């Protein structure tokens, strides 16, 4: 069973705030699911290459050229930002 | 259904505007009860319908999808329409552009009625995880429609749209199609562009059709598939009019039955399944028992890989670039404990109040599986098992052309039956996740009903095909559909 501290640590890594009550619930849920994953440990997989892309494709590249938003419009995109200033997304001060 | 409507449109028996209005009337009457839609796009729909009627009047040739009303799952963006993905965190999000599939169906002049309900960010098997409302199964409103494309399946089954788009990461098109008695197709991975599908787990996600017949699904796939330069994973393979492959002839086709899928199956489901197998035999198919020896590992593998990708994809919802920010809620006098003042607090609080329980659970699972010290034991291990699961399919397809199983181990369950136990809920996907892990195409189609508490609940059969072999998948399902003249009896009873 995961400890409260472990759950809170995972939540912090995931940048999710959780309440004490949620911590207890997730302690139970996550532990049960992680136990279920142990099923996989029964299976030997030595020498098996892990799959990263099922179709076997690798690094699709394009020319290193600037692509404008074109007719999509920066304005339409910026409309969805919670806070903007002079055409930029406004962020809280970090320092 | 699509061809019938198409013929009525070109013969002038009905106009697209009239047809569209009929659907909106049906929505107004029935959707309060069923809850398939989150947003209606009436202006867009009528504009499109008028355009098609003009074209017909002028004698222009129109596409099969032209003028026919459809519904779109709310994690697929339609320019100018709200796109919530079933989440509060995107409550105020207006899509600034069309997904490539939407561009494609707009080019075919399809009429988009609205956006359908789903489990938040497509995470769930019952549509009970939507932040907005519960969608009810039109066959029995006490039961769930399945998920996560529950709204799309319900819209089609309840005759609130002629067809719909859904997305499938571990069965989210096929399982609700099975529960609602309609057809759902998960195309081959990367067959259909995912550009501006709100991503859940990118190595598994695929957009596909939910329809009233296999033929309809083929027609839709022809329009939405093809290479797209905007999607770096898009397949280069050629596009085909899939409906041309529907001959109904399956003589000599080898269909494999995976022994592992049938262990411990409910007796009545086994019965329906066996009847269907017998019918495939009558149609001339050769039935063989096969093994997919790593089947028992597919669900835990899926539930490691998927949340890992979820935790990464959903990092973009941070309250800064778009969507909800916790300050908004402070302004509107909603519930948070305090105003987020620092950047970290903005992240923590936005995600705390913006995401629902299941989304948080999966992000945390993924974060754990990817974290230092656990990466090898979980994520890397799962990727190795995924390679073995793919190998199972490679081996099986040396012997057979298609693999047939039930779509789900059960029929639609009741609301609340599984919400307290995430593991129990995850088991709903046990037969469907393997197709996504292996990246093969798979279809669910109705194979009969099972009587429960006085209701005839539909059951789906699932055909999985070789990589990029939608032709055989669709044709075999079509052969069965034609043999059975199966046009969704139970739904017709419901809708009169």
Nearest to B423 among A33, A72, A73 (CB): A33
Q: How do strand B183-186 and strand A88-89 relate by DSSP bridges?
A: unpaired
Average pLDDT of the residues in B321-340: 65
Contact residues for B454 (Cβ-Cβ < 8 A; gap 6+): none
Report percent pLDDT > 70 for chain B. 94
Asked if B410 contacts B428 with a C-beta cutoff of 8 angstroms, the reply is yes
Residue of A nearest to B379 (CA): A50
Closest CA to B174 of B210, B206, B201, B140: B210
B-chain residues within 8 Å CB-CB of A40?
A: 297, 300-301, 304, 381-382, 385
Tokens at residue B431, please? 């037969």
Query: Quick one: pLDDT at residue B327?
Result: 72
Looking up tokens 């055409």, which residue turns up? Answer: A87
Looking up tokens 């329906």, which residue turns up? Answer: B272
Report percent pLDDT > 90 for chain B. 85
CB contact under 8 A, B365 and A30: yes
End-to-end CA distance of chain B: 16
Asked if B325 contacts A82 with a C-beta cutoff of 8 angstroms, the reply is yes
Query: Quick one: pLDDT at residue B345?
Result: 87
CB contact under 8 A, B323 and A10: no
A-chain residues within 8 Å CB-CB of B383?
A: 50-52
- Higher-confidence residue of A67 and B76: namely B76
Prediction ipTM score: 0.92
Nearest to B297 among A7, A34, A43 (CB): A43
Using alpha carbons, list the distances in angstroms from residue A80 to A92, B28, B97, B342, B421: 17, 30, 12, 21, 36
B-chain residues within 8 Å CB-CB of A57?
A: 233
CA distance linking residue B327 with residue B186, whole number of Å: 40
CA distance linking residue B419 with residue B440, whole number of Å: 30
B488 pLDDT higher than 50: no
Which of B72-86, B194-208, B225-239, B244-258 bottoms out in mean pLDDT, i.e. has the lowest?
Answer: B225-239
Handedness of CA B110, B112, B117, B120 (dihedral sign): positive
Contact residues for B484 (Cβ-Cβ < 8 A; gap 6+): B279
Helix (H/G/I), strand (E/B), else coil: B180: helix
CB contact under 8 A, A81 and B320: yes
Q: Is B280 exposed, middle or buried (0-12, 13-18, 19+ CB in 10 A)?
A: buried
Interface A-B, measured as beta-carbon pairs within 8 A, has a size of 155
Average pLDDT of the residues in B247-268: 94
DSSP code per residue over A36-60: HHGGGGGS--TTPPPPS-TT-----
CB contact under 8 A, A91 and B343: yes
CA distance linking residue B202 with residue B187, whole number of Å: 15
B-chain residues within 8 Å CB-CB of A93?
A: 343
B-chain residues within 8 Å CB-CB of A31?
A: none
Is B341 touching A (CB cutoff 8 A)? yes
Q: Write out the catalytic residue numbers of B.
A: 73, 148, 172
Asked if B169 contacts B159 with a C-beta cutoff of 8 angstroms, the reply is no
Query: Quick one: pLDDT at residue B496?
Result: 38
Tokens at residue B400, please? 């057979």
Give how far A64 is from chain B: nearest CA, Å: 15
Is B410 touching A (CB cutoff 8 A)? no
Average pLDDT of the residues in B387-402: 97
Asked if B135 contacts B127 with a C-beta cutoff of 8 angstroms, the reply is yes
- Confidence band, pLDDT 50/70/90 cuts, at residue A52: confident
B229 pLDDT higher than 90: no
CA distance linking residue A30 with residue B375, whole number of Å: 16
Contact residues for B295 (Cβ-Cβ < 8 A; gap 6+): B258, B260, B261, B392, B434
CA distance linking residue B153 with residue B182, whole number of Å: 7
DSSP code per residue over B410-470: SSPPBTTSSTT-HHHHHGGGTTTHHHHHHT--EEEEEEEEEEETTEEEEEEEEEEESTT-H
- Average pLDDT over chain B reads 93
Tokens at residue B145, please? 């429609």
Among A residues 13-52, those touching chain B with beta carbons less than 8 Å apart:
13-18, 22, 26, 29-30, 32-34, 36-37, 39-41, 43, 45, 48-52
> How far out from the chain centre does Cα B36 lie?
14
Average pLDDT of the residues in A37-47: 89
Q: Which helix (H) or strand (E) holds B291?
A: none
- Confidence band, pLDDT 50/70/90 cuts, at residue A82: confident
pLDDT digits (tens, 9 = 90+) for B117-172: 999 999 999 999 999 999 999 999 999 999 999 999 999 999 999 999 999 999 99
Give how far B100 is from chain A: nearest CA, Å: 14
CB contact under 8 A, B351 and A94: no
CA distance linking residue B92 with residue B354, whole number of Å: 12
Q: Which residues are paired to B225 by β-bridges?
A: B192
Using alpha carbons, list the distances in angstroms from residue B107 to B135, B155, B174: 30, 23, 26
What DSSP designation does B470 have?
A: H
CA trace torsion B84, B87, B88, B93 (10° rounding): -20
Asked if B183 contacts B177 with a C-beta cutoff of 8 angstroms, the reply is yes
Query: Quick one: pLDDT at residue A72?
Result: 64
Query: Quick one: pLDDT at residue B458?
Result: 97
Asked if B81 contacts B44 with a C-beta cutoff of 8 angstroms, the reply is yes
Is A66 touching B (CB cutoff 8 A)? no
pLDDT digits (tens, 9 = 90+) for B259-307: 999 988 999 999 999 999 999 999 999 999 999 999 999 999 999 999 9
């Amino acid at each position: 069973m995961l400890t409260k501290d472990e759950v809170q640590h995972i939540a912090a890594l995931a940048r999710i705030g959780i309440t004490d009550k949620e911590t207890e619930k997730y302690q139970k849920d996550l532990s049960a699911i992680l136990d279920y994953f142990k099923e996989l440990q029964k299976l030997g997989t030595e020498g098996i290459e892990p799959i990263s892309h099922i179709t076997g494709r690798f690094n699709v590249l394009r020319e290193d050229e600037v692509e404008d938003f074109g007719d999509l419009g920066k304005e339409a995109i910026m409309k969805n930002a919670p806070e903007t200033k002079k055409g930029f997304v406004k962020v809280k001060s970090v320092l | 259904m699509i061809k019938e409507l198409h013929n009525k449109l070109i013969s002038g028996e009905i106009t697209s505007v009239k047809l569209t209005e009929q659907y909106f009337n049906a929505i107004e009457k029935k959707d309060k009860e069923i809850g398939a839609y989150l947003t209606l796009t009436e202006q867009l729909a009528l504009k499109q319908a008028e355009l098609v009627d003009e074209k017909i009047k002028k004698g222009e040739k129109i596409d099969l999808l032209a003028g026919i009303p459809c519904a779109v799952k709310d994690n697929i963006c339609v320019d100018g329409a709200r796109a919530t993905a079933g989440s509060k965190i995107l409550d105020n999000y207006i899509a600034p552009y069309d997904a490539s599939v939407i561009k494609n169906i707009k080019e075919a002049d399809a009429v988009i009625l609205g956006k359908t309900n789903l489990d938040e960010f497509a995470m769930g098997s019952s549509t009970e995880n939507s932040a907005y409302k519960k969608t009810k199964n039109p066959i029995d409103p006490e039961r769930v429609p399945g998920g996560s494309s529950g709204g799309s399946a319900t819209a089609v089954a309840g005759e609130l749209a002629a067809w719909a788009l859904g997305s499938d990461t571990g069965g989210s098109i096929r399982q609700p199609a099975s529960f609602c008695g309609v057809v759902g197709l998960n195309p081959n991975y990367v067959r259909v562009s995912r550009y501006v599908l709100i991503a859940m787990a990118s190595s598994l996600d695929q957009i596909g059709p939910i329809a009233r017949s296999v033929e309809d699904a083929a027609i839709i796939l022809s329009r939405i598939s093809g290479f797209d330069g905007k999607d770096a994973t898009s397949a280069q393979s050629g596009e085909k009019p899939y409906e041309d492959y529907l001959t109904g002839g399956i003589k000599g086709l080898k269909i494999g039955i995976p022994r592992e899928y049938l262990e411990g199956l409910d007796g009545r489901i086994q019965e329906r399944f066996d009847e269907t197998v017998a019918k495939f035999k009558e149609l001339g198919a050769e039935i063989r028992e096969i093994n997919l020896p790593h089947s028992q590992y597919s669900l835990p593998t899926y539930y490691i890989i998927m949340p890992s990708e979820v935790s990464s994809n959903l990092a973009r919802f941070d309250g800064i670039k778009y969507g909800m920010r916790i300050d908004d809620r402070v302004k509107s006098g909603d519930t948070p404990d305090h105003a987020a003042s620092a950047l970290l607090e903005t992240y923590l609080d936005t995600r705390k109040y913006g995401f629902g329980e299941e989304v948080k659970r999966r992000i945390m699972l993924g974060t754990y599986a990817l974290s230092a010290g656990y990466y090898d034991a979980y994520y890397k291990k799962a990727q190795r098992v995924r390679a073995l699961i793919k190998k199972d399919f490679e081996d099986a397809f040396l012997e057979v052309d298609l693999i047939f199983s039930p779509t789900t181990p059960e029929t639609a369950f009741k609301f609340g039956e599984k919400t307290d136990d995430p593991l129990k809920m995850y088991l709903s996907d046990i037969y469907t996740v393997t197709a996504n892990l292996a990246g093969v195409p798979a279809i669910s189609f109705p194979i009969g009903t099972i009587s429960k508490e006085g209701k005839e609940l539909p059951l789906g059969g699932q055909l999985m095909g070789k990589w990029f072999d939608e032709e055989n998948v669709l044709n075999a399902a079509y052969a069965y559909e034609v043999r059975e003249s199966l046009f969704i009896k139970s739904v017709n009873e419901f809708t009169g």
